Structure 1
Amino acid sequence: MSDASTIAAPPTRAGYERIPLYAPGTAPCATDVSDTINLWGAPPAAVAAVRASTVETIAHYPALYNAELKAPLAAYAGVAPDEIVTGCGSDDVIDCALRAFAEPGGIVAHAAPTFSMVPVYARANGMEPVGVPLAGDDYAVDADALLALDAAIIYLCSPNNPTATPVARETLRRVVAGARGLVIIDEAYAEYVLADPDARAEVFTPEAPGMGRVLALRTLSKAFGLAGLRVGYGVGHPTIIREVEKARGPFKVTYPAEKGVLAALDDVDDARRWVETHARLAVAQRVRLEDGLRALGLAPAPSAAHFAFVPVPRARAVAEQLRARFDVGVRVFTGLPTALPSAVPALAASGGEGLRINAGPEPVQRAFLDALAAVLEGMR
C-alpha cells in the first residue's frame, strides 16, 4: 500500500489556494461570549421535538426541498411559500445564490468588514470578492462605491456582522435601485431588531419578494437558539427562489432539524413566546454591555443587534489575556480597514483591531466585563 504522505495531490483551480479554512480561534472555556448564538439556549419545545425524532425516521430522507418547512416559515416571515428557500444555515443559501447568479470571474461586492464567509464562498465559486470599507462614526455603508463596482452580486448584512451596525434604509434602497445584479440582504439578527424598543434598524424580509432583485436571508441559529441544527432560509421573488433552489440540492436540512424548527414555528408550548422573551432579554443585556464597555473607556459601535463590537488596540493580546487569566473567550478581528478618510476613524485609531462580544445572562456578562477590566488595567 502506498504511503499517503508521499502521494502528490492534484492541482487546485487557479486562485483556490487563497481560500482559508474557517478558523475563528475559539475553544471551550468557562465564559464564552465569542459567538452570536442565543446564550440562553433553545426553546424547550424544539429540544423535545428533536429528541423525539425516531431511529426509523433517521433512516429516511427528509421531505424533498424541505417542502414542509416552507408554509410555516412563510407565515412567520410574512411572505408566500413559493417565496422561501431553505438551506443548511443561511450561509448555505449565500453559497447557492452566488452559484446561481454570478459567473466565474464576476465581482461580489460587500461592505468591509462583514460576514467572513462571503469572500470565502465568492472565491470558492471562482468569483472575486471586493470589500468597500465602512465609513464614519456610524459605520455607514458607501452605496456609491458599491454601485461603482458594477458587481454581479452585492451583499449587505443588516445589522452587520461583526460590527452590529445597521444599513440605513435609504442606503439599501439606493443600492437595490442601482444594482445590475442580485442584492443579498442578510437579516440574521432580525428578531433582535424587532425586539428592540429603540431599534436603529429595520427589517426588510417581508418586502423582499416585491423588490425584484433582492434575496433576504434569515436564520434559526440566532434568536431561535438552534445553531446546532443548521437551518437558514432566503426570501425573494419566486423566480429568484427557483434559481437558488437549483443550486441547493434536494436534501439540505435533516429530518430532526426540520422537526425542531417546526416545533419552534408552530408555537408548541409557547416556543415563539420563548424566542421573543429571550430576544428582548438579549437586547436589554446588550445595552448594559455597551454601558459597561464605555465605563472602561471603550467606544462600542452603534449596535442594532444583540452583540457589541468595540475597536481595541492590541485586540489579539487582550483576547489572549482574557483566556489565559480568566478562561474567557471573545471573538477577535484584525486587519480591518484603516485608511482614512474612507475608513471608520475608530478602526483607524485601533490599528484595525477589535472585539465582538455577545450579550448573555447577567452572570456571564459580568464575568466578561470584570475580566476585561482587569486585563485592560494590567496592559496599561
Structure 2
Amino acid sequence: MAKYDAILLAGFGGPEGQDDVIPFLRNVTRGRGIPEERLEEVAHHYRHFGGVSPINNQNRALKAALEAELAFRGVDLPVIWGNRNWAPYLTDVVAEAHENGQDRLIAIATSAYSSYSSCRQYREDFAEAIIKPGLARVVHIDKVRQFFDHPGFVLPFIEGVRQGLADVEAANPGINLYTEVEVLFATHSIPMTDAAKSGPAERGFGEGGAYAAQHNAVAEVVVAAAAPADSSEALSWQLVYQSRSGPPSMPWLEPDINDAIAELPARGIRAVVIVPLGFVSDHMEVLWDLDNEAMETAKEHGLFSVRVPTPGTNPAYVSGLVDLVMERVNDTPVDERPALTELGPWYDVCRPGCCENVRLGFKPALAGEAP
C-alpha cells in the first residue's frame, strides 16, 4: 500500500489573455523550430476567444470536483494543480508542495491515451520538476495508469452518443440511424513515427501503435453500448483525426475529420455525430477544430451535425479518477481493476522504451522505468 501526501493534477496549460498567446505557443513548440508565422496562424484560434484558453478554468473546476469527491469519500488527500506549458507551472507547484511537506505525490495527467505527447512527455516534465530545483532524491511522483478504457472515462461518451443520436432523430424525423448517420470519433492527430512508437513495443500494435489501437477499442465499446437496444444492426462509425500541426512532408495519422466529412454525402449520409474521444475537456482543439471547422464543413456538405460533450466534470469521470488514485493507494490487484476493452487495464509503470519520441530521443522520465 502506498502513502501519498497529495494528488498532483497535471494539465497542458493555456493562455489567459491576449498577451499570453504567443509566449504560450512558444512554450508548447520549444525545440521544434516552428516559425513565428505558423505560431501566428495558430494564435488566431486563441484570439478568436479573447486570447483565453478554456483549459485552465476547466482544470480549476476539475480540481474542485475532485476535492469534493475525496471529501465525500473521507479521503484525506489534498489536490494540487500544475501545468506543463503555462502557469501554474509544474516545477513551481512541486517545489511549493515540497515546502509544505508534500514529497510523495500521485499524479493524474489530463490525458487518457498512450503516446509521447499524451503520456511520456508528462512523465518527462515530472522528472524536470524535481531535477531542476534539486529535489530528485527528495520528491517522488507516481502516476495513475492510462485510463482510456476506464468506465469513468468511457461512460460519459456512451451517454453523449445516445443523446446525440436522439438529437439527430428529433431534428430529422424518419432518418435511419444505421444507414444515414455516421458517428465520427475524433482525436488529436500525431506524427506516424510517434504513433508507431506509442505503447510498449512487445505488444505489437502495428502502424498506429497503442495510440490508434486504444482509440479504436474504446470507440467499439461506445458504439456497441450506445446503439438502440432493440436493434441488431450496427451503427456506422470511423476514427478520424484533427489539429495536425506538422510540415506537409511529415506523415501524420489520417483521415482528417474534414476530409472524412466531405466524403459522407456520396454514401447517403445525412447526419454526423462528432465524438471528441481523445479529449478529457472542451479545450481549444475542441472549440475551434470541432465546433467551428468540422461543424462548418458538415454544413457546407448539407449534413446535420451534433457534437458530444467531453467528460469535463461529469460525476462518473470525477469518481473514476479518484478510483484510479485509490487503486494505487490500496495496491488493488490487476484482476480487480475495471477496464472496458481487452487492452486494459493499462500499466501502473510504463515499460522501458514506451512512447519514444524518435526526433528528440529519450529524456529522464518519472513514473516509469529507465529506457
Q: Indicate whether the TM-score tops 0.5.
A: no
TM-score class, shorter: under 0.3
TM-score, structure 2 length as denominator? 0.26
